[in-house]
Structure 1
Amino acid sequence: MTVPRLIQNFKGGRALIVTSSRSAAEALEATLAKLGVSVERPALVDGRAELDIASLQAERDILFLDGDLDGAVVIDTAAGGRLPPVPIIGLVGVEAPSRLKALMNLGATGFLRKPVHGAAVYTALFLGVNQFLLRSEMQGQLEELGRRRQGRRFVIKAVVLLMQQTGLDDDAAYSLLRRESMRSRQGLESYCEQWLGNQADPAAQTMQETAQRPRADQA
Structure 2
Amino acid sequence: MSKPSSFSLRGRKALVAIKDERDATIVRRQFERLGIDIVTWDGGADIDGRPDVTLIDDEFLPLSSPAQRASLGRSPVIALLGTETPSRLKLVLDLDPASFLVKPLRSAGIYAALVLAFERSERTSELKQQVLKLEQRLRSRRVVLAAVLQVMHTHALAEPAAFALIRRAAMEQRKTIEELSAEITVTGSLPRAAG
Q: TM-score range by the shorter chain?
A: 0.7 to 0.9
Question: Whole-Å Cα distance in 2 between the matches of residues 152 and 30 of structure 1?
Answer: 54
Give the deviation of 1:112 after TM superposition.
0.8
Q: For residue 30 of structure 2, what is the aligned residue in structure 1? A: 31
Cα 1:29–1:56 shift into 2, 3 Å: same
Give the deviation of 1:180 after TM superposition.
4.8
Unaligned runs of 5+ in 1: 78-83, 206-219
Give the deviation of 1:195 after TM superposition.
4.2
Cα 1:62–1:178 shift into 2, 3 Å: farther
Give the deviation of 1:6 after TM superposition.
6.3
Question: Whole-Å Cα distance in 1 between the matches of residues 11 and 54 of structure 2?
Answer: 15
Matched, 1:138 2:118: no
Cα 1:177–1:129 shift into 2, 3 Å: same
**Percent same amino acid among aligned pairs?**
27
Report if aligned partners of 2:77, 2:99 keep a CA contact under 8 Å in 1: yes
| Letter matched to residue 155 of structure 1 | V
Question: Whole-Å Cα distance in 1 between the matches of residues 155 and 8 of structure 2?
Answer: 58
Cα 1:92–1:143 shift into 2, 3 Å: same
Report if aligned partners of 1:89, 1:124 keep a CA contact under 8 Å in 2: yes
- Classify the secondary structure of the residue corresponding to 1:129: helix
TM-score by length of 1: 0.71
Give the deviation of 1:92 after TM superposition.
0.8
- Classify the secondary structure of the residue corresponding to 1:106: coil
Matched, 1:7 2:35: no
Give the deviation of 1:177 after TM superposition.
2.9
Cα 1:22–1:76 shift into 2, 3 Å: closer
Question: Whole-Å Cα distance in 2 between the matches of residues 121 and 170 of structure 1?
Answer: 59
Give the deviation of 1:71 after TM superposition.
2.7
Which of residues 46, 53, 64 is equivalent to 2:55? 64
Question: Whole-Å Cα distance in 2 between the matches of residues 18 and 190 of structure 1?
Answer: 49
Aligned length: 182
Give the deviation of 1:181 after TM superposition.
4.5
TM-score by length of 2: 0.78
Q: For residue 94 of structure 1, what is the aligned residue in structure 2? A: 83
- Classify the secondary structure of the residue corresponding to 2:59: coil
Report if aligned partners of 1:158, 1:195 keep a CA contact under 8 Å in 2: yes
Matched, 1:159 2:145: no
State the Cα deviation string for residues 92-151 of structure 1 (Å, max 9, x = none).
Answer: 111222222222222101001122211110111111111222222222222222222222
Q: For residue 192 of structure 2, what is the aligned residue in structure 1? A: none
Which of residues 131, 156, 171 is equivalent to 2:160? 171
- Classify the secondary structure of the residue corresponding to 1:133: helix
Q: Which structure has the larger Rg over C-alpha atoms?
A: 1
Cα 1:159–1:44 shift into 2, 3 Å: same
State the Cα deviation string for residues 142-195 of structure 1 (Å, max 9, x = none).
Answer: 222222222211110011112233444422332343355555454x33542354
Q: For residue 209 of structure 1, what is the aligned residue in structure 2? A: none
- Classify the secondary structure of the residue corresponding to 2:101: strand
Report if aligned partners of 2:61, 2:92 keep a CA contact under 8 Å in 1: no
Report if aligned partners of 1:89, 1:111 keep a CA contact under 8 Å in 2: yes
Report if aligned partners of 2:141, 2:178 keep a CA contact under 8 Å in 1: yes
